[in-house]
Structures are given as structure tokens and as C-alpha cells.
């Protein structure tokens, strides 16, 4: 197995985006947000678990006053026709008239955020934007687009930099993608 490849559970992954490239891009987004939100004291809301690394790196790249808080999203069977209802746990802050930046690890189908955004908007924030480390535009099924995107990637499964495969892989500093090389161990 080449050294750039790793095995997690039953799957092999190969390196996709290096930690150097990731750091460069996060610094760029940090500068952009610092310019856009100067004097507005935005409140970052990190969606756990996946975004904890992206949120903390991005937060340290800001040169403006800003606050941060974390939530967990839980889904339960609701009465809506499209299945599960997603609700936020841990959103204790008063977000009335606050400028909110939601930080996500990845927007895939968009289901998670499109279910959670109405709950957030009910609390009357001044504005809501989304910063997502990754976006898979080809996978989108719901009408939600991040405003700040680290990288647009193809519709493939990735791990590392906070993202997991069945709970493992979050601690990898680089981003890895499922390998086309057979995962059968010879
Ligand atoms: P969505 O609701 O379909 O947009 O999915 C969002 C969630 O699915 C993310 O917050 C991740 O936890 C998970 N997810 C989607 N794609 C991947 C991936 O490629 N690797 C790891 N987790 C993923």
C-alpha cells in the first residue's frame, strides 16, 4: 500500500487535499469574513461533531471581534411529509438581531441545513450565512448553498479534518477520499 494511502475499517483512502492547502484556504476565508463582518461581532455556530476542527481553525484566522458557540443537531420523526425533523441542541444564546455564521463540515444533499435553518430564522437573527469546509454540488437535493466554501469536491466519500467514516478518521490532518484501488487486502 503506498504511504499516501490509509485503511479505515474496511475501506482504503488516498490523500486528496493536503493540510497545507487546507490551511491556506481557511486563512483566505478568514480574511474574507473579517472584511465582510468588520464591526458586526458575528456569532459563529459550529455544528458538531464534524465541524469542530474547521470551526476552530477558521475562528483563529479572524482578525475581527467574533463569538463562537456549538450545537448538535438531533433528528426525530416528525409529522412533516419529508420525514425526520432536525432540531438544535445547545443553542442557548439569544440570537435576536445577531449576525450568524453557521459552520459545517460538508454540505452534501443539503438536508441537514435545510431542516435546521427555519428553526434558526424563527429566532429573529439579523442575518444568517453558512461557511462550509466542503461542498458536494452534484449531491445537492435541497435548496441550500453555502456562502463561504473551503473546497467544492466531486460526489465521493471523504474523511479527515473532522469528517469521519463510522466514527474514525476525524483526527487526520489531511483530507482523504475513497480509493479506486481495491480495498481487498491481498
Ligand atoms: P447533508 O444533510 O446531506 O448535507 O449531509 C451533511 C452531513 O452528512 C455532514 O455534516 C456529514 O456529517 C455527512 N457527510 C456527507 N458527506 C460526507 C463525506 O463524504 N464524508 C463524511 N461525512 C459526510
Q: What is the pLDDT of residue 90?
A: 86
**C-beta 55 within 6 A of ligand 1:** no
Domain spans of the chain, in order of start: 21-151
Q: Which atom of ligand 1 is nearest to the CA of 111?
A: 2
Which pLDDT value is given to residue 2? Answer: 64
- From residue 173, how far is each of 47, 54, 55, 169, 170 by CA, in Å? 19, 11, 14, 9, 8
Give Cα 51 distance to the centre of its chain. Answer: 5
Which alpha helices (DSSP H) does 127-169 contain, by range? none
What distance in angstroms lies between residue 143's CA and the mean position of ligand 1's atoms?
Answer: 16
CB 88 within 8 A of CB 72: yes
Q: What are the pLDDT digits (tens) for 79-133?
A: 544 557 678 888 888 999 999 999 999 999 999 999 889 989 999 999 999 999 9
pLDDT value of residue 183: 47
pLDDT at 185: 46
Length, in residues, of the chain: 186
Q: What is this structure's pTM?
A: 0.93
Q: Which of 108, 147, 166, 174 is catalytic?
A: 108
Q: Which residues of the chain have pLDDT under 50?
A: 80-81, 183-186
Contacts of 156 (CB under 8 A, 6+ apart): 177, 178
Q: Which fold has domain 21-151?
A: Rossmann fold (3.40.50)
Contact 123, 96 (CB under 8 A): yes
Query: What is the spatial order of strands in the sheet that 67-77 belongs to?
Result: 84-89, 67-77, 43-48, 99-107, 127-135, 148-152
Grid-cell match 448553498, residue found: 145
What is the rounded distance in angstroms from the CA atom of residue 151 to the CA atom of residue 10?
A: 26
Q: What is the β-pairing status of strands 99-107 and 127-135?
A: parallel
Amino acid at each position: 500500500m503506498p504511504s499516501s494511502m490509509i485503511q479505515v475499517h474496511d475501506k482504503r483512502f488516498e490523500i486528496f487535499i493536503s493540510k497545507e492547502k487546507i490551511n491556506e484556504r481557511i486563512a483566505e476565508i478568514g480574511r474574507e469574513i473579517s472584511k465582510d463582518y468588520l464591526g458586526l461581532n458575528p456569532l459563529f455556530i459550529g455544528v458538531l461533531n464534524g465541524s469542530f476542527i474547521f470551526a476552530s481553525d477558521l475562528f483563529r484566522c479572524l482578525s475581527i471581534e467574533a463569538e463562537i458557540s456549538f450545537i448538535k443537531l438531533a433528528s426525530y420523526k416528525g409529522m412533516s411529509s419529508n420525514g425526520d425533523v432536525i432540531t438544535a441542541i445547545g443553542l442557548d444564546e439569544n440570537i435576536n438581531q445577531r449576525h450568524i455564521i453557521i459552520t459545517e463540515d460538508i454540505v452534501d444533499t443539503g438536508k441537514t441545513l435545510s431542516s435546521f435553518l427555519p428553526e434558526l430564522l424563527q429566532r429573529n437573527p439579523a442575518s444568517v450565512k453558512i461557511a462550509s469546509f466542503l461542498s458536494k454540488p452534484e449531491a445537492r437535493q435541497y435548496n441550500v448553498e453555502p456562502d463561504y466554501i473551503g473546497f467544492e469536491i466531486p460526489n465521493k466519500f471523504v474523511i479527515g479534518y473532522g469528517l469521519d467514516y463510522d466514527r474514525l478518521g476525524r483526527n487526520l490532518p489531511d483530507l482523504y477520499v475513497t480509493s479506486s484501488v481495491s480495498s481487498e487486502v491481498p
